[in-house]
Structure 1
Amino acid sequence: MASIAAEALALLRRGDGASAMALVETACAQADGEALAMRALWQVEGRLMPRDLSAARADLNAATQAGNVGAARMLGGFLATGTGGARDWAGALALLDAWVDRDILATRQRTLIAAMAIDAAGDPLHIPTPHSLHETPPIHAFPGLLSAPECDLLTDLSDHRLRPALIFHEGQGRFVADPIRDSDAAGFPIVSEWPAIHAINRRLAAASGTQVEQGEVLQILRYRPGQQYRAHLDAVPGLANQRSLTLLVYLNDEYDGGETRFRRLDITYRGRKGDGLLFANCLADGRPNPLTEHAGMPVRSGTKRVASRWIRQRPSETPDGFGQHEASA
């Protein structure tokens, strides 16, 4: 017998949104965990109903009480980040504790968080001392910014979600292949910024001297032999809330090539597993700084993995941060 979610998705594929919604609403009234989780996703996306993060959080709570593991994972992230309601880091940890015997991801997150040097709010107690690679524009390397198990978690959680890197084409109104980057990419958006991911994001914010809300979705990039990120600027001309900083974390060592190259500054850097690289993208007036043009050089052998966080000048004015939230089942 098909699940509620499978039936609803089949109806959506046939263009029958009204029947899909009626099916899910009926099941929600019966406290069906799968239906409640699906309605929560629709409320995050604004699909078939108005976008409502607080209602989504309530549905995730009800679905979690009904025993839905996917809802429990999303709810942990909502509690950790303060999405759809007050931020509750202690509640997020308690939820992980309640699921450690039923969900391997909860177990892995809880173990990882227990090893982090963080305070009661999830903020890091210390940051590795950076060393300067360049003064103006500033480029700093952070040795050991993430631990090896943290790098492995990001790699493992992203592997099954990696897709060819895309950009949004304003003229065509759709996502298209990125002409300068031929890597694969996966992100941790609003529905998957789980507690361990959020704790990592808070450490990246502390390392960059910014608020966690200034960061775009954490992305994981994978480069196979021959793949590269051609020379580019991370700042976007005319962007009202500019990408003022970029923070990269190298997630593995088992590859040749793939260095980060600032051609105009004659700087080439390759971090070890867990090392971070922070650089400023803008001039004092907010315009892109041409000296920050950089490239991810072609990988010669092996597979390179890197985490990337673009950091804006100020927090987003929307409750779910920057960019596409990519909420999907």
Structure 2
Amino acid sequence: MTDAATDLRRQLGMLLGQGRAADAVALLTTRSQAGDAAAQYELGLWRLYGQCVERDPSAALDLFRDAAAQHHPEAVAAEIALLGNGMAGTADPAAAQARVAALAASDPFYRHQQDLLEQIAAAPLPPAEVLSVDPDIRFYSDFLPPALCDHVMEAARVRLAPSFVIDPVSRQRVPHPVRTSHGTNFGPVDEDCVINAINRRIATVTVTDWRAGEMLHVLRYTPGQQYRLHHDGLPNVTNQRQWTAIVYLNHGFDGGATDFPLLGLDVAPRRGGLLVFANTHGDGAIDPRTRHEGKPVDTGEKWVATRWIRTRPWTPWDEAPAR
């Protein structure tokens, strides 16, 4: 981030801290109209997420494009991400990948992404190992090449935060009672073409619409950390989590198996492997048999990437994920 961008965010933080949201919006608008790329990028984020202004994805994309035309790196990445995932209009993954290919000729960052895209395109889809017919639980060995696993971990590492929930009484952040890991997800502007390709690969093996998946969620467990017994289905929603897909990203740890106690099924993590299981019956009702837990890690670190797949296409502005 440039000094100018840092100064802009400092000014915005000061204004918002003083309750002067209208002045913050005015500052961003004035500087954006004057061609300030940092302001265009920030206002684009506000327009995309509806922060202090009306949410307008189309206007957000225009702002990102204006900033990208001035070679603002975060705006370039945001424009490509939104082109690929369609969160600000029509999704066009092929066009997004074409942008990456064009940039790869002169930018090592995008050259690396292009290499990874070529690897995932060339990797054959593995056959399913059926662990349970009813409920449907499958495992795909070598689903994701090692370099792709590394990319997900490295992209997530700088964003990891302790798992928490909001206390309904105090409205304060408190430790998550079920999940003791650190985690993050790849939101609309963070979903680079590689993450998008992984999401679409998951959709292929699950025979689902790739737009139905929630944001790819990455969790890191250190010794003693776990994901206690739970079910991935959500209460009181009209677009249920029909499937869960878990990619095991690394090796070099002990413990951390995924256990389905009602089925007597224990799944040992294998790097690059994909575990897929149904959360619902055929009628859409939650299937309690797929309650599961991520057992405590004994030594080392365990990394996973989880994709909760809804019945229908989903966006972050629909019913919010509970965890």
TM-score if structure 2 supplies the norm length? 0.91
- Once the two structures are TM-superposed, the CA of residue 176 in structure 1 deviates from its matched residue by 4.3
TM-score if structure 1 supplies the norm length? 0.89
Give, in whole Å, the separation in 2 of the partners of 1:89 and 1:253: 31
Does 2:52 align with 1:48?
A: yes
Show the counterpart of 2:21.
17
Q: Which amino acid aligns with 1:86?
A: T
CA RMSD in angstroms, aligned pairs only: 2.2
Gaps of 5+ in 1: 119-124, 325-329
- Once the two structures are TM-superposed, the CA of residue 214 in structure 1 deviates from its matched residue by 1.0
Among residues 54, 63, 68, which one is paired with 2:67 in the alignment?
63
Show the counterpart of 1:187.
185
Show the counterpart of 2:304.
306
- Once the two structures are TM-superposed, the CA of residue 283 in structure 1 deviates from its matched residue by 2.3
- Once the two structures are TM-superposed, the CA of residue 289 in structure 1 deviates from its matched residue by 1.5
- Once the two structures are TM-superposed, the CA of residue 245 in structure 1 deviates from its matched residue by 0.8
Please say if residues 247 and 273 of structure 2, whose CA atoms lie closer than 8 Å, have aligned partners that are also in contact.
yes
| SS of alignment partner, residue 19 of structure 1 | helix
Q: For residues 69-89 of structure 1, give each alpha carbon's deviation from its aligned partner in whole angstroms, at most 9, with x where no partner exists.
A: 000011110111123223233
Give, in whole Å, the separation in 2 of the partners of 1:309 and 1:21: 35
Show the counterpart of 2:39.
35
Count of residues paired in the alignment:
317
Show the counterpart of 1:74.
78
Q: Which amino acid aligns with 1:311?
A: I
Gaps of 5+ in 2: none
Please say if residues 31 and 66 of structure 1, whose CA atoms lie closer than 8 Å, have aligned partners that are also in contact.
no
Show the counterpart of 2:199.
201
- Once the two structures are TM-superposed, the CA of residue 8 in structure 1 deviates from its matched residue by 2.0
Please say if residues 232 and 295 of structure 1, whose CA atoms lie closer than 8 Å, have aligned partners that are also in contact.
yes
Which range is displaced more, 96-105 or 143-152?
A: 96-105
Which range is displaced more, 231-240 or 54-63?
A: 231-240
| SS of alignment partner, residue 225 of structure 1 | coil
Please say if residues 188 and 219 of structure 1, whose CA atoms lie closer than 8 Å, have aligned partners that are also in contact.
yes
- Once the two structures are TM-superposed, the CA of residue 171 in structure 1 deviates from its matched residue by 6.8
- Once the two structures are TM-superposed, the CA of residue 320 in structure 1 deviates from its matched residue by 5.3
| SS of alignment partner, residue 61 of structure 2 | helix
Among residues 11, 17, 23, which one is paired with 1:7 in the alignment?
11
Structural mapping, 1:155-170, within 5 Å: 155-167=153-165
Please say if residues 119 and 145 of structure 2, whose CA atoms lie closer than 8 Å, have aligned partners that are also in contact.
no
Give, in whole Å, the separation in 2 of the partners of 1:140 and 1:40: 41
Among residues 265, 272, 278, which one is paired with 2:270 in the alignment?
272
- Once the two structures are TM-superposed, the CA of residue 297 in structure 1 deviates from its matched residue by 0.4
Give, in whole Å, the separation in 1 of the partners of 2:273 and 2:11: 46
- Runs (4+) of structure 1 exceeding 4 A deviation are 101-104, 168-176, 318-322
Please say if residues 237 and 319 of structure 2, whose CA atoms lie closer than 8 Å, have aligned partners that are also in contact.
no
Show the counterpart of 1:327.
none
